[in-house]
Amino acid sequence: MWSAKSEIADIYLSGKTFAIRANGTVALHPVAEDWATSLQAGLAGQTGQPKRRWRIWLGGRRCGLHLCEPIPGVRNIEEAEAALGASLGVDGRAMSVRLATWAAQGPWLALATEAGLIEGLLSVVEEGGGHVQSVRPWWTV
């Protein structure tokens, strides 16, 4: 029986490794310095459904969890995320930050990825003819 729905497959991307689970198999691949080129090569090896739906899971090296103290004078969540993006960056690189909790009192729970990572992942998968269903940290499984 043919189905109009495409198979959902998974990509796990961490610091030096990524894995693809599709068609009932799992393939592990090393990540070169440019993760996008590595992922493009890995996805090129996937045959079958050209419009496959992908769930992307980010490892701890790609999506960090941070407990941060509130920043005095911040007026809204957008300002808080921008300020944390600058302060959590490494080697002068800004981070893209999303706050899971935000209140004037108590700690903030922040998720941080390298700036442009999510957009880059969407671009690589869509260039390969796929569709990204979700991008999440691995620990939300």
CB-count exposure of residue 69 (10 Å: 0-12, 13-18, 19+): exposed
Q: What is the pLDDT confidence band of residue 45, given thresholds at 50, 70 and 90?
A: confident
Confidence (pLDDT) at 1: 41
- pLDDT range class, residue 34, cuts 50, 70, 90: confident
CA angle 101, 104, 109 (to 5 degrees): 25
Strand ranges, E, within 1-141: 8-13, 17-22, 25-30, 53-58, 64-68, 95-101, 108-114, 131-137
- Split at pLDDT 50, 70, 90, the class of 48 is low
Cα angle value 80/86/92 (rounded, 5°): 175
Residue range 73-109, pLDDT digits in tens: 999 999 999 999 988 887 778 899 999 888 878 899 9
Cα–Cα dist 110/84, whole Å: 8
pLDDT of 16 strictly over 60: yes
Count of residues in the chain: 141
Q: Are 17 and 30 in contact (CB under 8 A)?
A: yes
For range 61-70, the mean pLDDT: 91
Rounded mean pLDDT, 127-132 = 89
Is pLDDT of 44 > 80? Answer: yes
Using an 8 Å Cβ cutoff, are 12 and 26 in contact?
no
Decide if pLDDT at 128 tops 90. no
Look at the block and give the residue holding tokens 């079958």.
Answer: 48
- Ranking 12-16, 61-65, 91-95 by mean pLDDT, the lowest is 91-95
Q: Between vectors from CA 9 to CA 11 and to CA 31, what angle results, nearest 5°?
A: 20
Q: What are phi and psi of 33, to 5 degrees?
A: -55, -35
Name which residue leads in pLDDT, 139 or 26. 26
